[in-house]
Amino acid sequence: MRLACTNGISIISGNAGSGKSTILGVITKIFLEKNYMIEQVALSGKAALRIKETTGLHAKTIHRMFLDNGGDCFNLDNPYLKVDEMNIASEVLIVDEASMIGGAVFFNLLKAVKKSDKIKHLIIVGDNAQLPAIGIGQPFNDLLNYSSLPKAKLTRVYRQASESGTLAAATMIRQNENFISSLDTFGDDFIYMNHGGNDLLIEFERYMEMNNNDIMEVQFLAQKRAECLQFNKIIQKRLGILPANHVENTKKAFEIYVGDKVILNKNSYENLTPEGDDGGKPVFNGNLGIVKKITKDYTVVDFQGIGEVGLEKEAVRNLLLGYCITVHKAQGSGFNSVIGFMSNSQSMLSSNMLYTAITRAKHHCTIAAPESVIEDCANRSAHECQTWLKNFYGGKE
């Protein structure tokens, strides 16, 4: 906390359960007592929602911050993006889930920070054991491991295995250890099964009952989109979603009905109100919601943390069923209960993949995978990107 409050730039990395959220809550209170304006951002909408839950302060996506401060939010993947019109007015900028951010977006974010005449503290927070960023580079990992910037690595997990089997399993996988032989010492919040099939549906129904049938708090995770499609159709049928008016989409192997849980696959900035008028709220890649109304011209979705938004046909094409999403899509998110299915896909198996899946669970987690898959994950870390940034900081050539 002293590191973040006394330095212009600071980096905080920590294991799941090591206290990052608690520390952020205290840091924001300290700055609020100094009457500092605080901006909190993350790459995905769900990750931004989690920061809001942690600190009680408003949070937004990086894209939305650019949009709100006069920047170009449509081309953040362009490293040559101009930020001349931007001026972030807050004194403190907190960037959470920074391991998700690729090189181009991170570069543009830093350019915007440099352009601001207000920012006094930039606090970069993440977990370097999660999946690598999608896109070029791995800026968070390189800054954490090779820069001379002020930084802190939180490694101590404050809950015992008997209290949280989920955290215990995650910690062992993070350390490249197989958790199967230690299951007897874990709390009952974590379940491992070496098969899937109908038992996964039984787990789903058990978790639904535990969460008062709130489908937004029960999430299936898989590695591949094809696996997600299969699970989504099964769960959609299991829930008996009524096909009142469905979204016509001949390019996809599924249909969306009123009552379906969906995920947006691409940012949508110009939307409609629930009544179909102009001026709807922007929504972003990764936002989850429930379909409330389908008309021939637009579809209304109640997005978690945002509210009801009217999506026109172009945006509707970017909706996917959201009962099961990929681990990559879930990064930065959190759900009360998670069911993760890990298949024997050698190219995608890694400790980072399994660790990220397990740590999406807030209270209960079930992992279904052959023992050989768990062993492969424990013995393999995701390939490190080959970057030049480490060389500028005196890292290995």
What pLDDT, on a 0 to 100 scale, did the predictor assign at position 187? 83
Which range among 62-66, 159-163, 183-187, 209-213 shows the weakest confidence by mean pLDDT?
Answer: 159-163
- Cα 223 to Cα 340: distance, rounded to the nearest angstrom: 9
Higher pLDDT, 345 or 96: 96
pLDDT of 389 reads 72
pLDDT band per the 50, 70, 90 thresholds, residue 185: confident
Give the model's confidence band at 147: pLDDT under 50 very low, under 70 low, under 90 confident, else very high.
Answer: confident
- Decide which of 32 and 286 is more confident: 32
The whole-chain average pLDDT of the chain stands at: 88
Note the pTM of the prediction, 2 decimals: 0.86
pLDDT reading at 145 higher than 90:
no
Q: What is the pLDDT of residue 397?
A: 45
Share of the chain above pLDDT 90, in %: 57
**pLDDT tens sequence across 215-234:** 999 999 999 999 999 999 99
Q: 381 pLDDT exceeds 90?
A: no
For residue 247, the model assigns a pLDDT of 56
User: What would the pLDDT profile of 39-81 be if each residue is shown by its tens digit?
Assistant: 999 988 888 888 888 899 999 889 889 988 888 888 888 888 9
pLDDT at 33: 95
Dist CA 250 CA 316 (whole Å)? 13
